[in-house]
Amino acid sequence: MTDARENSDQEALSKIDTTVPQSARIWNYWLGGKDNYEVDRIAGDAFRDIFPGIETGARAARYFLARAVRHLAAEEGIRQFLDIGTGLPNVDNTHQIAQRVAPECRIVYVDNDPLVLAHARALLVSSSVGVTNYVDADLRDPSTILREAAKTLDFDQPVALMLMGILGHIEDHDEARSIVRQLVDGLPSGSFLVQYDSTDTSDAYVDAIRQYNEGGSIPYILRSPEQIERYFDGLELLEPGVASCSRWRPDTEAWGLPAEVHQYGGVALKR
């Protein structure tokens, strides 16, 4: 079994392109992680030179994830999480936050980046009574995601669907909304959608993204807060609705962060 896992990891690592910057690795760099390459650090520094607020926004988005997961596990009784586009492991991943509240929580991570796949073993460390699993699948294939996640999650019980900073990689907004609808339609009543993405609310951010997209990486599309709110159509948004990530139910983690960052998100209930 160990040899099989090592072979799988080596195969994944062999697919990594270190000549082109990649968003998950750059985000890891901005958050102080070490799972990135020189090409990512160069791109990250160039981005930060144009838009110095990016690291603050990255932290605000990470803290939003933590507060949303804690709220759902502690206040809403959610015990299952489907985290799509999870990115690279960092401090306090979804399963760690949820299982501190309720050790029996079940978490499925979904990504299709080879470096994330190689690090999936770190994500698979669960509490002794909970479950953590990983699915190698593309966001554009909701049916496969739901089918594979159902091997770990009970879709007769509520699930928290998490789409954190990933929908911007779907260039067409209508297609992104369709993907969200398909995923939400596959969940039972009582489930939640947790979502954030970066917004076009800063001219410097827009310029930095434009230059990043011209560099050959998978493009990321900034959207307006109103467009992000459309992802929650048909769902019941929790207060304060779609807001700057640092304004979503702030606690001590948000101390020192500006009230306005250019990442907007929300949490909504499926009735």
What's the chain's average pLDDT?
90
Q: pLDDT tens-digit profile of 51-77?
A: 999 999 999 999 999 999 999 999 999
Q: pLDDT tens-digit profile of 17-54?
A: 788 888 888 888 998 888 889 999 999 999 999 999 99
Report the pLDDT value the prediction gives residue 14, as an integer from 0 to 100: 61
Q: At residue 69, what are phi and psi to the nearest 5 degrees? A: -65, -45
Rounded Cα gap, residues 144 and 140, in angstroms: 9
Q: What is the pTM of this model?
A: 0.90
Model confidence at 200: pLDDT above 90: yes
Task: Extract the tokens encoding 220.
Answer: 């990321």
Report the pLDDT value the prediction gives residue 253, as an integer from 0 to 100: 66
Model confidence at 255: pLDDT above 70: no
3-state SS of the chain is CHHHHHHHHHHHHHCCCCCCCCHHHHHHHHCCCCCCCHHHHHHHHHHHHHCCCHHHHHHHHHHHHHHHHHHHHHCCCCCEEEEECCCCCCCCCHHHHHHHHCCCCEEEEEECCHHHHHCHHHHCCCCCCCEEEEEECCCCCHHHHHHHHCCCCCCCCCCEEEEECCHHHCCCHHHHHHHHHHHHHCCCCCCEEEEEEEECCCHHHHHHHHHHHCCCCCCCCCECHHHHHHCCCCCEECCCCCEEHHHCCCCHHHCCCCCCCCEEEEEEECC
pLDDT average, residue stretch 124-132 = 85
User: Of residues 194 and 256, which shows the higher confidence score?
Assistant: 194
Report the pLDDT value the prediction gives residue 122, as an integer from 0 to 100: 66
Q: pLDDT tens-digit profile of 75-123?
A: 999 999 999 998 777 778 899 999 999 999 999 999 988 777 777 766 6
pLDDT average, residue stretch 257-264 = 91
Report the pLDDT value the prediction gives residue 20, as an integer from 0 to 100: 84
Model confidence at 241: pLDDT above 90: yes
Q: Are 232 and 224 in contact (CB under 8 A)?
A: no
